[in-house]
Amino acid sequence: MPSAATSGTSIAAMGKGLRPRGRLQVHAAIATASFVCYILGRLVDGGASTAFSVIGVGACGWAWLATRALFDPAERDARWARVVGLVVALSGALSVLAPAGGLIWRVADNTYALSGSTALLLTFVEPFHRYTRDLPDAEKRFRFAFVAIYAVLVAVSVMGLRAVGEGPDEAMRDDLAKSACAVMGLAALLAAVRFRRGHPLATRTTTAPRRAPTEDDARLAERLRRLLIDEALDSRPELKIGDVAARLGEPEHRISQCIGTALGFPNFNRWINHHRIARAKRMLAHPDERRSILEIAFACGFASLGPFNRAFRDEVGTTPRAYRSAARTSVEG
């Protein structure tokens, strides 16, 4: 269990680099050190191997905490998450140091097996945290790649455990295979760090002051407005932020940043829906408009009535039907 959990979870830290300062960097640095110690503990002998292994067995917990920080923009870890990470690290270290077969060793080993397996499972789940349809395409691809690579490394590690036989030669091959998994996990970690630095997650804090828009933001905002006016892109039901970014030749994160700073909307979907609802309001209020609410929803870029009704209610505070009725009553009166 220790080796499977550790090498499998090495990919977890792959996801590391997201957090600008603090939480992610701390977990990423500790997880990286833990993975390196895990690898060295399998390649050397004697007391050095034990010393490295004491640190290396904590990779499950640190990798999971790094993964949480990767996909959760909160400034601090939840207290329970820290407890789980510490249980993994401490029980794993005790299982290395305690005499094998004794009571302390059995308790520590069982605790480590349970907590390490929990960390493995939670690491797999984290990429789905705060997953929404309006995430940039690059972010969706990144999360899919994270899950796929992580699953492959865990599967290889587990299959390696089952396939290993008796004897020193088999044990050496097992050590080399799991060390290779850990190395690949570290390589994936560095790739993820690089990705995150270029594609940071939007923070969900409401107390942090919003960055003032720059002149570049203002120019890009005007290009976005002109794009909607000239090409009516918001009338396309499957419109994504990647489509707009490609049309303007800008990175997706720049479009997202401009929408939040210069245009004042929390995300791409809210910005697009604002313009769609504005068009719908004009149609609903026009006395000569005979199209049904569903037809108007389609004309404004919504793929079905449900999302249209929800977006309209969020934007206007009432339903499309009630808005149309009130507008026409006002005209007739």
267 and 124, same structural domain? no
111: in domain: yes
92's enclosing H/E stretch is: helix 79-97
153 and 121, same structural domain? yes
Largest CA distance in the chain: 93
Confidence band for 205, pLDDT divided at 50, 70 and 90 = very low
Q: Which two tokens stand for residue 253?
A: 């994160």
Confidence band for 244, pLDDT divided at 50, 70 and 90 = very high
Helices of type H across 249-319: 252-261, 268-285, 293-299, 305-316
294: in domain: yes
What is the C-alpha separation between 108 and 62, in angstroms, rounded?
18
279 and 183, same structural domain? no
What is the C-alpha separation between 5 and 128, in angstroms, rounded?
20
Q: What is the mean pLDDT of residues 258-277?
A: 92
Q: Say whether pLDDT at 194 is over 80.
A: no
Q: For a pLDDT cut of 70, what percent of the chain falls above it?
A: 86
151 and 253, same structural domain? no
Determine the 3-state secondary structure of 272 from DSSP. Answer: helix
Q: Say whether pLDDT at 97 is over 90.
A: yes
205: in domain: no
Q: What is the mean pLDDT of residues 191-205?
A: 71
> Which residues in 87-227 belong to E strands, given as ranges?
none
Does 265 or 158 have the greater pLDDT score? 265
229 and 150, same structural domain? no
148 and 32, same structural domain? yes
Q: What is the pLDDT of residue 59?
A: 87
How many domains does the chain fold into?
2
Please choose, from the candidates 94, 41, 90, 43, the residue with its C-alpha nearest in 3D space to the C-alpha of residue 62.
90
54: in domain: yes
Torsion angle, alpha carbons of 30, 36, 40, 42, to 10: 90
118 and 235, same structural domain? no
Q: How far is CA 216 from CA 126, 210, 219, 254, in A?
A: 34, 16, 5, 10
143 and 51, same structural domain? yes
204: in domain: no
Confidence band for 195, pLDDT divided at 50, 70 and 90 = confident
Does 97 or 165 have the greater pLDDT score? 97
Q: What is the pLDDT of residue 225?
A: 92
Question: Which domain CATH number covers 325?
Answer: 1.10.10.60
103 and 171, same structural domain? yes
Q: If you average pLDDT over every residue of the chain, what do you get?
A: 83
Owner of token pair 């390649």: 43
Boundary (domain end) residue, out of 166, 198, 230: 198
Q: What is the pLDDT of residue 332?
A: 61
Please choose, from the candidates 110, 108, 121, the residue with its C-alpha nearest in 3D space to the C-alpha of residue 64.
121
134 and 53, same structural domain? yes
Q: What is the pLDDT of residue 180?
A: 83
Q: What is the pLDDT of residue 70?
A: 83
Q: Which two tokens stand for residue 156?
A: 């290889």
324: in domain: yes
Q: Which domain holds residue 66?
A: 2-198
Boundary (domain end) residue, out of 173, 198, 223: 198
